[in-house]
Chains A and B, each alone.
Chain A
Amino acid sequence: MTTGVKAVGTWVLLAPRNALLGVLWAYRKVISPLYGQVCRYHPSCSLYAFRAIQYHGALRGTGLAAWRVLRCNPFSRGGIDDPPESHHTYFDITEHGFVRPRKED
């Protein structure tokens, strides 16, 4: 019972994250291919945003992603730039990149 309640709570907690991930997923499927690779970094800004939001949540992830987009301009050096590592414990990442409460087994 308590684990069920906890899982629901975690789902609610993860909902904004999944909503943003859905938007980014659609963007990467539909809009990104329009102009091919233009990003000066690896991972590209949208993949950076995706990972940042996966691991750091809607708020901090969006902040990180916004800062990255600002850094990515024709006069920046570019190169390899991964989002900061995080030590999450309470959620898993599905094969499509969404987050769900970690199964306790």
Chain B
Amino acid sequence: MGAIDTILWPIRWVIEALLVGFHSLFESWGLEGASGISWVLAITALVLVVRAALIPVFVRQIKSQRRMMEIAPQLKKIQDKYKGKKDQFSREALSRETMALYSKAGTNPFSSCLPLLLQMPIFFGLFRVLSEAGLGNAGVSYMTQDLAVAFANAELFGLAPLSATMNAAISGEAVLAEGGTTAVVLIAAVMVVLMSGSQFITQLQIMAKNQSEEMMASPMYRQQRILLYVLPLVFLFSGVFFPLGVMFYWLVSNFWTMGQQFLVIRNMPTPGSQAAKARDERIAKKREKLGLPPLGEAEEEDAPEQTKPAQRQQPVGKSRAKKKGQKPPKKPDDDDGLAGQAAKPKG
């Protein structure tokens, strides 16, 4: 635990500063400092700050998406070439050629896992801050003993402490006022439902609208679909063991993701996906209304004649060309690409 706390220390420091800062700001606006609502708003503000800090990454994604539109025809060609091919090698080759195309065009539609990874220590840091404060212990920076005690006593609707978990309320571990148990259980249950709902919608939006047909035919898609139904169970678990305050952070963050996802899918869909078709139709309609010629006609004319249905031999690098000769035949349904390329003994 010691090592983890050391890593989380700077994060906790910042989170406490932000949380206490917002709390006193809301207090200065006339909100009751000891009330649950002032802390809930402080947590909401914290989410907004964290997510807003990630906006530059988001903007970068938008910019690269513009260039994506330019290479959409080439991308389509690659996708057509591998249409209906579900074996491991075709899918790996599809992914490889797609990435080579992005690289050549100097663009990349993916934002890496860093934005996702960054949020995890923040979440754990917040978890530590709120659970310590819930016990009435002073934190590492601005969360003083007095404030921690105030937080520990802050209640939503005068009944449900933000530091309480459903588990503690039911087992009687948490000392609650009359009706407090019901309030904690109810609030946690509502948050679980909202959290599962927003996550479900976000995930469904991506899956149903923003994936190319190749992706939808892949085993990855099946796994995603299973997880779509498993995640609410994860939230149920968190709803029992996480303090209300932490769940609230997660909930607001989920809502932010849902909104951002909606914007991305609407305005910069993955080429070849249903959302991309919908966007093309919207643009076509708009241009018709304005009396402009349909988009893409001019480009079609001077597109090079590469659209032959036959599989064109892609140029390959020296090392890959060498490897290609040795590739042993693979079971077509091993689709993870995990079995290595030189798996079989040579002799």
Q: Interface residues, chain A, CB within 8 Å of chain B?
A: 25, 28-30, 32-43, 45, 47, 50-51, 54-55, 69, 72-80, 85, 92-97, 102-103
On chain B, the residues within 8 Å of A69 by CB distance are: 113
Extra contacts, 12 of them, besides A35-B113, A45-B113, A74-B112 (Cβ < 8 A), are: A25-B338, A28-B338, A33-B224, A34-B227, A39-B110, A47-B338, A73-B112, A74-B111, A76-B112, A92-B344, A95-B334, A96-B339
Q: A33-B223, A38-B110 are in contact. Are A78 and B99 (CB under 8 A)?
A: yes
B344 touches A42 (CB 8 A): no
Central interface residue in A32, A73, A85, A92, by most chain B CB within 10 Å? A73
A77 touches B345 (CB 8 A): no
Residue-wise, chain B 109-122 has the 8 Å CB interface mask toward A (1 for contact) of: 01111111000000
21 sampled A-B residue pairs with Cβ under 8 A:
A30-B227, A33-B220, A34-B231, A36-B211, A43-B337, A47-B338, A50-B338, A51-B340, A69-B113, A74-B111, A74-B112, A74-B114, A74-B115, A77-B106, A78-B99, A79-B99, A79-B103, A80-B99, A92-B343, A93-B343, A97-B336
A41 touches B99 (CB 8 A): yes
On chain A, the residues within 8 Å of B102 by CB distance are: 78-79
CA distance A43 to B99 in the complex (A): 9
B111 touches A38 (CB 8 A): yes
5 cross-chain pairs, A with B, having the tightest CB-CB distances, nearest first: A97-B338, A79-B103, A42-B99, A93-B343, A33-B223
| B135 lies within 8 A of chain A by Cβ | no
B223 touches A54 (CB 8 A): no
On chain A, the residues within 8 Å of B28 by CB distance are: none
| B108 lies within 8 A of chain A by Cβ | yes
CA distance A39 to B319 in the complex (A): 23
CA distance A40 to B120 in the complex (A): 20
B343 touches A39 (CB 8 A): no
Interface size class of B (residues with CB under 8 A): 35 or more
Within 8 A of A (CB), among B214-252: 220, 223-224, 227, 231
A95 touches B108 (CB 8 A): no
Cβ-closest chain B residue relative to A36: B206
B345 touches A38 (CB 8 A): no
Residue-wise, chain B 327-340 has the 8 Å CB interface mask toward A (1 for contact) of: 00001001011111
Central interface residue in A29, A50, A51, A74, by most chain B CB within 10 Å? A74
Within 8 A of A (CB), among B42-71: 57, 60-61
| B7 lies within 8 A of chain A by Cβ | no
CA distance A42 to B103 in the complex (A): 10
B116 touches A95 (CB 8 A): no
On chain A, the residues within 8 Å of B57 by CB distance are: 74
A97 touches B340 (CB 8 A): yes
Cβ-closest chain A residue relative to B222: A33
A29 touches B339 (CB 8 A): no
| B100 lies within 8 A of chain A by Cβ | yes
| B76 lies within 8 A of chain A by Cβ | no
CA distance A72 to B338 in the complex (A): 20
A79 touches B339 (CB 8 A): no
CA distance A37 to B231 in the complex (A): 18
B112 touches A38 (CB 8 A): yes
CA distance A40 to B288 in the complex (A): 37
Within 8 A of A (CB), among B79-135: 92, 95-96, 98-100, 102-103, 106, 108, 110-116
A80 touches B331 (CB 8 A): no
Central interface residue in B61, B96, B108, B331, by most chain A CB within 10 Å? B108
CA distance A30 to B226 in the complex (A): 10
On chain B, the residues within 8 Å of A77 by CB distance are: 103, 106, 108
Pick the contact of B116: A35, A80, A97 (CB < 8 A).
A35
Q: A33-B223, A36-B224, A78-B99 are in contact. Are A93 and B339 (CB under 8 A)?
A: yes
B223 touches A103 (CB 8 A): no
On chain B, the residues within 8 Å of A80 by CB distance are: 96, 99-100, 103
B339 touches A72 (CB 8 A): no
CA distance A5 to B116 in the complex (A): 46
